[in-house]
């Protein structure tokens, strides 16, 4: 099997990967959609896409999402006709070599609970541990009704002017090492299909959220509130504002929430979000 290791995909490669995933999903009745950009990776020079070919046919694919230097999230799939022939193992070995070179020692395997092939593969990997599940939830524009009660927060879009505040809040809220949020900041400012917002109460910073405009809808991510402002109703106000902005550009709002973040999950359910998809995360050290 010929293997290509790259950090940016061509449109032709993306189409090939999407087609391969469609075949795999239909074979096992799965729903996953792989993310085919390195724009949120902490280092865009690290190869994160691994494509396996037999002659000219793409038969296996693996991607490593690298939002921080602490860990890499691996998703992979192999054409049903070529399974049980060590295709995944070869791509995985190539990815591990690159991760080690960049001092990344922890992997999170991302799988769907319905995928029997993933379960079989993970049994052979080594000592792994299920650490959490993540739910993809969605909300349609037709259901949305803007709240008319008194609004306490003001919002600003992130620009060069306030990006330092946004960066500090991101690191505080998500307990990130100082200086590691710069990638999120630059993407929020420079990307034509992304925006980020800061919510203020008078002069105090309360919370943040990000938006990614896609063909499928508006993806909300990086939603967070500083600890001193939690459980005071600000989360619901931030979400209502985020939905209002989302539906100015799309007909569907989408977000992910971890199984260990029940306050956020309950808020999204209260607002009307519905679960579309579940992904399980297995921890593995290399």
Per the domain annotation, does 157 fall within a domain? Answer: yes
Q: What is the CATH number of the domain that holds 143?
A: 3.40.630.30
Are 47 and 160 within one domain?
no
Are 122 and 192 within one domain?
no
Is residue 181 pLDDT above 90, yes or no? no
The residue from 88, 104, 126 where one domain ends is: 126
What does the alpha-carbon distance between residue 219 and residue 211 come to, in Å, rounded to a whole number? Answer: 6
Characterise 272 by phi-psi region: left (phi > 0), alpha (psi -120 to 50), beta (else).
left
Give me 281's structure tokens: 């995360």
Per the domain annotation, does 208 fall within a domain? Answer: yes
Are 161 and 254 within one domain?
yes
Is residue 98 pLDDT above 80, yes or no? yes
Are 149 and 262 within one domain?
yes
Are 169 and 196 within one domain?
yes
Per the domain annotation, does 286 fall within a domain? Answer: no
The residue from 126, 146, 170 where one domain ends is: 126
Give me 187's structure tokens: 């993407």
What does the alpha-carbon distance between residue 50 and residue 204 come to, in Å, rounded to a whole number? Answer: 45
Are 153 and 92 within one domain?
no
Q: What digits encode the pLDDT tens for the residues 233-281?
A: 899 999 999 999 999 999 999 999 999 999 999 999 999 999 999 999 9
Q: What digits encode the pLDDT tens for the residues 197-234?
A: 999 999 899 999 999 999 889 999 999 999 999 989 89
H-only helix segments in the chain: 11-28, 87-101, 116-125, 163-173, 182-190, 234-246, 262-271
Across the range 147-160, mean pLDDT stands at: 86
Tell me how many helices (H) and strands (E) the chain has: 7, 12
In sequence order, the 6+-apart residues with CB closer than 8 A to the CB of 221 are 209, 210, 211, 212, 255, 256
Q: Which domain holds residue 241?
A: 138-278
Are 79 and 148 within one domain?
no
Are 170 and 271 within one domain?
yes
Give me 200's structure tokens: 């203020």
The residue from 126, 148, 172 where one domain ends is: 126
CB 136 within 8 A of CB 275: yes
Per the domain annotation, does 37 fall within a domain? Answer: yes
Please give the pLDDT value at position 197.
97
CA 286 to chain centre: 22
Are 147 and 245 within one domain?
yes
Are 101 and 7 within one domain?
yes
Give me 85's structure tokens: 């022939």
Tokens 């600003």: give the residue.
Answer: 156
CB 39 within 8 A of CB 286: no
**Which helix (H) or strand (E) segment is 108 a member of?**
strand 106-111
Q: Strand 194-201 to strand 2-6: parallel, antiparallel, or no bridges (unpaired)?
A: unpaired
Other beta carbons within 10 angstroms of residue 174's beta carbon come to 14
Are 147 and 266 within one domain?
yes
DSSP code at position 143: G
Query: What is the number of structural domains in the chain?
Result: 2
Q: Does the global pTM surpass 0.85?
A: no
């Amino acid at each position: 099997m010929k293997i290509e290791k790259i950090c940016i995909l061509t449109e032709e490669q993306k189409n090939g990967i999407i087609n391969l995933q469609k075949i795999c999903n239909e074979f096992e009745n799965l729903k996953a959609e792989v993310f085919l950009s390195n724009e949120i990776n902490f280092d865009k020079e690290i190869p994160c896409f691994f494509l396996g070919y037999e002659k000219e046919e793409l038969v296996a694919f693996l991607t490593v999402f690298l939002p921080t230097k602490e860990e890499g999230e691996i998703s992979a799939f192999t054409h049903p006709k070529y399974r049980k022939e060590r295709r995944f193992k070869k791509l995985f070995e190539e990815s591990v070599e690159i991760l080690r070179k960049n001092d990344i020692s922890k992997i999170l395997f991302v799988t769907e609970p319905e995928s029997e092939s993933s379960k079989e593969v993970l049994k052979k990997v080594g000592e792994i541990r299920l650490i959490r599940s993540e739910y993809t939830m969605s909300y349609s524009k037709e259901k949305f009704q803007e709240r008319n009660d008194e609004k306490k927060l003001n919002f600003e879009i992130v620009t060069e002017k306030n990006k330092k505040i946004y960066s500090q809040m991101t690191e505080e809220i998500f307990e990130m090492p100082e200086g590691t949020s710069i990638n999120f900041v630059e993407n929020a400012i420079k990307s034509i299909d992304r925006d980020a917002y800061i919510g203020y109460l008078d002069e105090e910073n309360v919370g943040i959220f990000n938006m990614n405009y896609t063909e499928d809808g508006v993806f909300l991510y990086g939603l967070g509130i500083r600890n001193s402002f939690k459980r005071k109703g600000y989360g619901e106000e931030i979400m209502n504002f985020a939905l209002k902005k989302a539906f100015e550009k799309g007909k569907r709002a989408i977000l992910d929430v971890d199984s260990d973040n029940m306050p956020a999950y309950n808020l999204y359910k209260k607002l009307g979000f519905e679960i579309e998809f579940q992904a399980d995360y297995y921890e593995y050290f290399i």
